[in-house]
Amino acid sequence: MAHCVSAEAEKILDKEFPVLDKGFIRLVDYLGSDERVVQSARVSYGEGTKSYREDAGLIDYLLRNRHTSPFEQVVLTFHVKMPIFVARQWVRHRTARLNEISGRYSVMKDDFYVPEAGDIALQSGDNKQARGEALPPDKAEGFRAAFEAGQRSSYGEYVRLIDSGLARELARINLPLSLYTEIYWQIDLHNLFHFLELRLGAHAQKEIRLYAQTLLDISRKVAPRCCESFERHVLGAAVFSKDEFLEIKRRLRGESGILEGSALARLEEKLK
């Protein structure tokens, strides 16, 4: 099997999938598919692709037992347009190759992210990195207007600096994190799954969760069985510490538990 082609992936190449108000993700290219994963896993004893059920079972086995190298055989390249504050979280994952539009070479577009009214909230009282309950519509619209006014002012000053002849690399430095940027991002399936596991988590910021969900939807077109296995064994699973696992075993045997306080709270949160 010299070259794997996914008919569903071919249908969506270069198609824009919208995210947020002005963002998108495009699948630019891909290498490999489900078939490449099972083929590379079986290379040690020379057997080719088998039935759908056997291939799906092998993929489950590989993912469940952390045999990750076959998944690295599948590579996807995305074109992503996102706000800079999302990009700064995105590039924390250092297992991909990327190239970003440069404000040193290009005049940046007047594209800024403004949250929907339902996504505007005050700071959470018990989570230092998250928002709390959404604000009433009238107050939320006031904050939306403040975002837009600040963006107009910042971009207007940027244009004035550009028009005055100031170097683009200097004119850009006061532009806000809400400005949209664009990247080409290439990653293998194993590391994409790690990205998705973290960025689809409940503690991830909503904006990057929306991008992660779109990435998963697109990736299903390339490697549907791998993505199905990922959702079943990783995304829909929980990892327990040694003490948590012993606590579960005690409770299943009808014995009293010994975890308490924050340790018990963490276990109960995982079991929700």
Catalytic residues: 199
Q: Which residue has the tokens 């092998």?
A: 58
E-strand stretches of 46-178: 75-83, 97-100, 121-123, 131-134
Helices marked H in the chain:
7-12, 34-41, 52-64, 84-90, 137-163, 168-171, 189-199, 206-222, 224-230, 242-252, 261-270
Q: Around Cβ 169, how many Cβ atoms within 10 Å?
A: 11
Q: Around Cβ 234, how many Cβ atoms within 10 Å?
A: 16
Residue 140 to residue 123: CA distance in whole angstroms: 13
Which candidate, 150, 172, 149, 178, places its Cα nearest to that of 160? 172
Amino acid sitting at position 25: I
Q: Around Cβ 168, how many Cβ atoms within 10 Å?
A: 16
Let me know: does 143 contact 122? Beta carbons within 8 Å: no
Both tokens of residue 181?
Answer: 């940027």
Q: Which residue has the tokens 């170097």?
A: 167
- Cα torsion 54, 59, 65, 69: sign: positive
